[in-house]
Structure 1
Amino acid sequence: MNLQQQLEQYSPFNEQEAKDQEIILRYMDTFDNLLTRENEFAHFTASAWLVNRDRTKVLMAFHNIYQSWSWVGGHADGDANLLHVALKEAKEETGLKNVKPVSEEIYSIEILGVPAHVKKGKHVATHVHLNVTYLLEADENELTTIKPDENSDINWFGLEEAIAASKEPEMKVVYRKLNDKLTVYCQNTVL
């Protein structure tokens, strides 16, 4: 199933996801370069809500650009397999070797506003990320390492602590949603 089919079949968790799904699908019908940063207004990213086996903690990285604790993830850069992107980014940004999907299904979707910033010495204009999130799992005892060009620390947080650690109000809303979904997921799944 291709990315557009996955997004069409995705069942939104709330009103935000329903509206974002509608807009993302409209953009996919309008633009042919959403998988690359060549589309300077909107492009796909994949993120990971990276939890421990007990689903009681989430691994966060201290993001250098935003100066805040953040989930891990990155740009699609041409790869339409966003689960692959989320797994790759989770490993690259944390140093973990053993990251696996809890499910291969899309866990969450959101359109995220990205303020203008400087990256690698170049100005990046304000734009949006068409983000697809996956629920991934790792062993909280496995050694982690930072990725100095992107983050300066990595830490496991309790689910509520992860929300509190973020300095970005809009991301706190996203992380709350991801935790709420995790509670529902755990109620419906045997760990």
Structure 2
Amino acid sequence: MSAIGGHTGKEAEPVELTEALERFEPWNEQEERDRAELLRRLRGGEELYSRENPAGHLTASAWVVSPDRTQVLMAYHNLYNSWAWLGGHADGERDLLSVSMREVREESGLTQVRPVSPAIYSVEILTVDGHEKRGVYVPSHLHLNVTYLLEADPAAPIRCKPDENSRVGWFSPEGAVAASSEPWFRERIYAKLNAKLNAKLARFS
């Protein structure tokens, strides 16, 4: 029986995330398949909110745009040696929208960031190669990621977070994709996020 339907002997999955994923409309086959896998794991009672599950855990990312949607905020991440979106681990927090906003504030120095919508903007399962972090080896694993569309003022002060990134900056949407040195992210994730943004803009034009 699923965590929604009754007691499983494990801590029940909060209805909010499961229902948000059920309401989420996949953009493409990648999102359809990744959403199905996220739901399967959540309904199965697997502990995903903390890094105690070494095989995979929940993360929240943000596609941060300017109010006029002409700019996207990126950070140059030390671990990946690439410009990338902002985000991080749930680390026990059950509200992943709050996680995404917290990570943006911590990684960019922005104090004012707000959701364009509380709904999930994108879903993706991301592979992370084994690496050293603060002198400790982290085995290869999966990030079970949800992305939110957030908004901030490009004129507001920003700064890097030296233990995670060396630069933070605003790009045009196309420039944000081109700045990444990770081909899979450029083609499968960032280009997709921009396509969704363009579709939203076209709907209201």
Same fold (TM over 0.5): yes
**Aligned position for 2:112:** 98
The amino acid of 1:177's aligned partner reads K
Q: 2: CA distance between counterparts of 1:127 and 1:156?
A: 30
The amino acid of 2:51's aligned partner reads R
The amino acid of 2:117's aligned partner reads S
Where relative contact order (Cα < 8 A, 6+ residues apart) is larger, the structure is 1
**Aligned position for 2:32:** 18
SS of structure 2 residue aligned to 1:20: helix
**Aligned 1:3-14 pairs, distance under 5 A:** 3-14=17-28
How far does the alpha carbon of each residue in 1:18-54 deviate from its partner, in whole angstroms, 9 at most, with x for none?
Answer: 0001111111123431011011111000000000111
How far does the alpha carbon of each residue in 1:117-148 deviate from its partner, in whole angstroms, 9 at most, with x for none?
Answer: 11111111110101000000000010101111
**Aligned position for 1:140:** 154
The normalised TM-score by structure 1 is 0.97
- 1:111 has 2:125 as partner: yes
Q: 2: CA distance between counterparts of 1:74 and 1:140?
A: 22
| Larger radius of gyration between Structure 1 and Structure 2 | 2
Q: 1: CA distance between counterparts of 2:121 and 2:198?
A: 13
**Aligned position for 2:193:** 178
Identity of aligned residues (%): 51
The normalised TM-score by structure 2 is 0.90
- 1:28 has 2:48 as partner: no
Structure 2 gaps, min length 5 = 1-14
- 1:165 has 2:153 as partner: no
Which is further off, 173-182 or 4-13? 4-13
Q: 1: CA distance between counterparts of 2:43 and 2:119?
A: 22
Q: 2: CA distance between counterparts of 1:151 and 1:31?
A: 34
Q: 1: CA distance between counterparts of 2:46 and 2:37?
A: 15
SS of structure 1 residue aligned to 2:104: helix
Q: 1: CA distance between counterparts of 2:200 and 2:96?
A: 21
Shift of the alpha carbon at 1:93?
A: 0.3
SS of structure 2 residue aligned to 1:112: strand
The amino acid of 1:153's aligned partner reads R
**Aligned position for 2:8:** none
- 1:75 has 2:89 as partner: yes
Shift of the alpha carbon at 1:169?
A: 1.1
SS of structure 2 residue aligned to 1:2: helix
Which is further off, 113-122 or 1-10? 1-10
**Aligned position for 1:61:** 75
Q: 2: CA distance between counterparts of 1:177 and 1:144?
A: 26
Q: 2: CA distance between counterparts of 1:170 and 1:79?
A: 28
Moved over 2 A (4+): 29-32
The amino acid of 2:103's aligned partner reads E
